[in-house]
Amino acid sequence: MFSRRAFIESAATIGVVSTLLPGILYAKAEEAEEITLETIEAAEKLAGLTLTPQEREQMLAGIRDGVENRAALRQVQLQNDDVPALIFDPTISGRSAPIIPSRIPITWQPGDVSRPSSDEDLAFMTVPELSALLRSRLVSSEELTRLYLTRLKKYDGVLECVVTLTEERALRQARAVDLELDAGQWRGPLHGIPWGAKDILAVKGYPTTWGARPFKDQTIEQEAEVVRRLDAAGAVLVAKLTTGALAMGNVWYGGSTKTPWNIEAGSGGSSAGPGSAVAAGLVGFAIGSETSGSIVNPSEKNGVTGLRPTFGRVSRSGAMTLCWSFDKLGPMCRSATCCALVFDAIHGSDQSDPSTLTTPFFWPPRKQPQDLRVGYLPMERESDLAVLRVFEEAGISLRSVELPDIPVGPVFSMLGAEAAAAFDDLVRSGTDDELVRQDAGAWPNYLRTSQFIPAVTYINASRVRTLLMKEMRRLFDEVDVIVAPTWGGNRQTNLTGHPSVSMPNGFERLEGNPSSARRKPVSFTILGGLYQDEAVLSLAQLYQSRTRFHRQRPPIS
């Protein structure tokens, strides 16, 4: 029999505090240990409950029945992409989405650009510049593809940012694109531009490893919707780039991805490869993902520009699920304009992702940045204060704002519960032991601990999330966008589904090595109201038109 002392010692070992009892009780039942009144009494102490003997007696049969229900559920073979019946909707805050039946074509056209004299300069050109060269036929897609493939092979040994080169697919695509462009057929701004995909996106014929050793030989014979849309736009996929294992950090089964600004430091995560490869000029742009900082963090570490779109604007079909109500896909590029052009190609509703919808997006933006209502959060760093001065000099009127005073840490238990469900089989099979990181802050411990998050806690966290969403709606009733320190408002807006764009606003010399070309990028973030992706990108574009931080190149080696 499972004694009271053994129960409490077991719970203490895994760090369970104030949790519901059924998870532990059912686990013991599955080990063929009888659930008794004494077991319930021990469990209720940890759950923060006080029950009478009569109440425990009344509960006993129901808890034992629950064991059978739990076992029956486990007989159903669930795949990572099987979505729950409950879909997160950011408009529950009271801010309705401006839904339209189909995407509106943007009016952006490439200008005149001269071809640079060196391949190095060519590799670091922005999407608009590459688009102009391709359309004017000053460079071919095959030539550009071979250039990026060469650079990926050259620098991957240093940066550890590539999981799989898609060379055969890329060259086939590039040759087909060149035939179209030679014939005067132009699909749009991304036509012929090589790009890289975070290796949580499925691509037919290639492994999709999720950065984790248990899945390193996994192939998913479908195209992620984002991949399909970029194919349709004429973009050329050259590589599947690293992700921290199961979308955490920059450590994956093949190594630790580095930032080209300082190869002794990690590139941030979990969109580690996209950040590193874009910064090093190894791809024209990349697609990353964010659940709670995975675009923001590597954008900062690598000095690139990353857009985390409004939740539901980009399909996640064919992407690894970590957390159904948090996950978002977005572009990581060399400029805000690059992000806008990529976002235009990938946004819109998709039947395979029930959270998605189609809302208007215009580029060039409909509203001038000077017409936006711009708020800002408290700033301390000189580089952040300098951002405010840039906007003021551009004629932007700024007003100080504060985030809602609602605790967000406990709400992130929702992420733990959903991740534990998404990778339930990994934990129960014991193959989570194969993940490289096994420290207390890594997935194995987090997923195991999250098995003990009660349904009541999950639902109440969701209710607090709704309160936060309503308070954020009131805040964005007053402003269109908010200028913030890099991590200012990141946790809140990941919970509420609001968009953000992060970009470099300076570089710091490394301590103890002031003469080195290696530097540490610093960044800031612009947050936007729901479906105000156009506005955050517009303000970011204004900033980058008046500064040159996004044009800086790293030393790599």
What pLDDT does residue 379 have?
A: 95
In angstroms, rounded to a whole number, what is the distance separating the alpha carbons of residues 244 and 199?
Answer: 9
pLDDT digits 0-9 by tens, 158-173: 999 999 999 999 999 9
- Which sequence spans correspond to the domains of the chain? 1-76, 90-98+117-405+460-551
What's the confidence (pLDDT) of residue 8? Answer: 37
Radius of gyration of the chain (CA): 25
- According to the model, what pLDDT value does residue 6 have? 40
Determine contact, residues 337/126, Cβ cutoff 8 Å: yes
**Coil, helix or strand at residue 253:** coil
Q: Which residue, 279, 294, 310, is CA-closest to 500?
A: 310
Q: What is the mean pLDDT of residues 6-11?
A: 38
What band does 302 get if pLDDT is binned at 50, 70 and 90? very high
Banded model confidence at residue 262, pLDDT cuts 50, 70, 90: very high
Cβ neighbors of 4 (< 8 A, separation 6 or more) are 38, 39, 41, 42
Residue 398 and residue 483 in contact, taking contact as beta carbons nearer than 8 Å: yes
**Residue 371 CB burial class (10 angstroms; 0-12, 13-18, ≥19):** middle
Rounded alpha-carbon distances, angstroms, from residue 439 to 264, 433, 443, 446: 21, 11, 8, 10
Question: What is the rounded average pLDDT of the residues 24-48?
Answer: 66
Q: How far is CA 369 from CA 284, 366, 395, in A?
A: 26, 10, 9
Res 12 pLDDT > 70:
no
- Backbone φ/ψ region at 556: left (φ over 0), alpha (ψ -120 to 50), beta: left
Q: How far apart are CA 427 and CA 433, in angstroms?
A: 8
- 382 confidence band (pLDDT: 50, 70, 90): very high
- 414 pLDDT band (50/70/90 cuts)? very high
Query: How many Cβ atoms are within 10 Å of 548's Cβ, its own excluded?
Result: 8
Best CA proximity match to 224, nearest among 162, 294, 295, 166 = 166
Mind listing the pLDDT tens digit for each residue in 433-454? 999 999 988 999 889 888 878 8
**pLDDT, tens digit (0-9, with 9 covering 90-100), for 202-239:** 999 999 999 999 999 999 999 999 999 999 999 999 99
Identify whether the C-beta of residue 154 lies closer than 8 Å to the C-beta of residue 165: no
Angle at 68 between CA 63 and CA 72, to 5 degrees: 140
pLDDT digits (tens, 9 = 90+) for 46-64: 667 788 888 888 877 877 7
What is the per-residue pLDDT across 467-480, written as a single tens digit (0 to 9) for each? 999 999 999 999 99
What is the residue-averaged pLDDT of the chain?
Answer: 91
Rounded distance between C-alpha atoms, residue 230 and residue 526, angstroms: 26
Average pLDDT over residues 411-428: 94
CA–CA gap between residue 186 and residue 188 (Å, rounded): 6
Q: Is the CB of residue 508 less than 8 Å from the CB of residue 303? A: no
Asked whether residue 260 carries a pLDDT value surpassing 90, the answer given is yes
What are the Cα distances from residue 209, in Å, to 202, 215, 421? 9, 5, 19
What CATH number was assigned to the domain covering residues 90-98+117-405+460-551? 3.90.1300.10
